A and B are shown apart, each in its own frame.
Chain A
Amino acid sequence: MQASKARLFKEYHEVQREKTADPDIQLVCDESNIFKWTAFVKGPSETPYEGGVFQLSFSVSDQYPLQPPQVRFLTKIFHPNVHFKTGEICLDILKNAWSPAWTLQSVCRAIIALMAHPEPDSPLNCDSGNLLRSGDVRGYQSMARMYTRLAAMPKKG
């Protein structure tokens, strides 16, 4: 318990110190609970997520950093490796490839990388995965783009 808190406080201070270092990631800790975090990540450029801001929720256990944080998309996203309903993410470093060498911040970077490089062969969203696997890149991109506009961009007017 103490070890996980101590580590999270270190990450908290690092995030405060490096606030401007990575303009694509805004990582915020819950004011009353060091085990709950929220991140806002910018959709990477030259992807259908460009221009969108995606909210992620982090739930950290007292076994952290020996065990990975639980991370979900709160913003709806059409992506082969993100569950369309629950926002669950299929990413090896959040599962069996996790190690304490990762931080909440570097997990955000890994998720941005996953947004830019979907892995359609291990899909959580089969519709999205099937579009890419059948070579319909245009179909995938227009769906993903539509949901980015609907869910991840500020409403116009």
Chain B
Amino acid sequence: MQSKEAVVEDGEITSSVTVPDTEFDEWNNFGDDDIMQQQYSIQADEAKKVPFVGDKEPLSSLAAEYKSGSPILLEKIKVLDEQYAAIRRTRGDGNCFFRSFMFSYLEHIMECQDQAEVDRIQPNVEKSRKALQTLGYADLTFEDFFALFLEQLECVIQGKETSISHEELVIRSRDQSISDYVVMFFRFVTSAEIQMRTEFFEPFILGLTNTTVEQFCKLSVEPMGEESDHVHITALSDALGVPIRVVYLDRSSCDTGGVSVNHHDFMPVAGDLPNASCSSVKNIPFITLLYRPGHYDILYPK
């Protein structure tokens, strides 16, 4: 009995030797470059499914998504429905916070023709540029990203040769060569802000990872596709002086029975807040993002 099994095993071994041999060769040649290429092609496939920035959809599309989902979420969406008119989705590629912020911010300036905001933010952008220089970044590494953002800022104000339509803003936000550059601009600004205020951010960063502030910026802020946390949002909001409201849609509920949707306003520390010329209520951020664990989309208040 035993010897019979051994024979069978032997047969299996000899027959299997030839097959994995070629496989092994392939694995030998399957380097990190191939893995990177595969990753890029997966990203390209994903890109066909969801654009960087989607179309404006009625809030009912959110409810449709959770039709057979958790009752708490459905209750919360009902609450959201009272305050918000629409949602604009962004691609879940790790850049969704920055991408949502980009579109929401530029769209606000365009719709309100908020020249005051353009004038207000420019010195802050220059402050970030100085900060990067102080931190030892070579100009050539970040200047293209700064230039492209400032260009977009100019374009959304109407009545100039370079002015663009809302339709063009959507097209640009979906064009990688523009959209990713603006996202990268925000990553540089965020990284500079965190590193210039190391003492303030250190405790938060220690709570997230076990790295130094500089390492955190190198690994979790500057590389494209790295997801954003409250540290990133706080830093970007402070650096540019732009308040951001984040509405949280998750399964948390309170024991009292009533369902409410939490939100948090990130208010910049600096005193020169935008005067929100287009919003009737002061001190309400003109950027509202919907957070679902792991992802940010844009919300439009009623």
Contacts and interface: CB of A to CB of B under 8 A. Distances in A.
A72 to B, nearest CB: 9
Interface in A8-31: 10-11, 14
Contacts of A14: 138, 140
B33 A7 contact: no
Contacts of A95: 32, 36
Interface in A77-126: 83, 85-86, 88, 90, 92, 94-103
Interface of B (DSSP majority class): helix
A3 B181 contact: yes
Given A66-B184, A100-B184, A7 B36 contact: no
Interface string B143-167: 0110000000000000000000000
B188 interface: yes
Contact of A101 (B33, B36, B188): B188
B177 A3 contact: yes
B204 interface: no
Contacts, number: 58
A142 interface: no
A100 B142 contact: yes
A153 interface: no
A117 B94 CA distance: 31
A98 B188 CA distance: 13
B contact residues, range: 20 to 34
B142 A70 contact: no
A150 to B, nearest CB: 22
B81 interface: no
A24 to B, nearest CB: 18
A81 to B, nearest CB: 11
Contacts of B180: 66
Interface residues of A, number: 27
Contacts of B142: 100-101
Contacts of A66: 180-181, 184, 224
Nearest to A88: B31
Contact of A83 (B31, B140, B222): B31
Interface string A53-92: 0000000000001111010000000000001011010101
Contacts of A99: 184, 187, 218, 222-224
Nearest to A7: B144
Contacts of B70: none
Nearest to B191: A101
Contacts of B33: 70, 88
**Which 5 interchain pairs have the tightest Cβ spacing?**
A99-B222, A10-B140, A99-B223, A88-B31, A101-B141
7 contacts: A66-B180, A67-B40, A86-B29, A88-B33, A97-B219, A99-B218, A101-B222
Interface of B: 28-29, 31-33, 36, 40, 137-138, 140-142, 144-145, 177, 180-181, 184, 187-188, 191, 218-219, 222-225
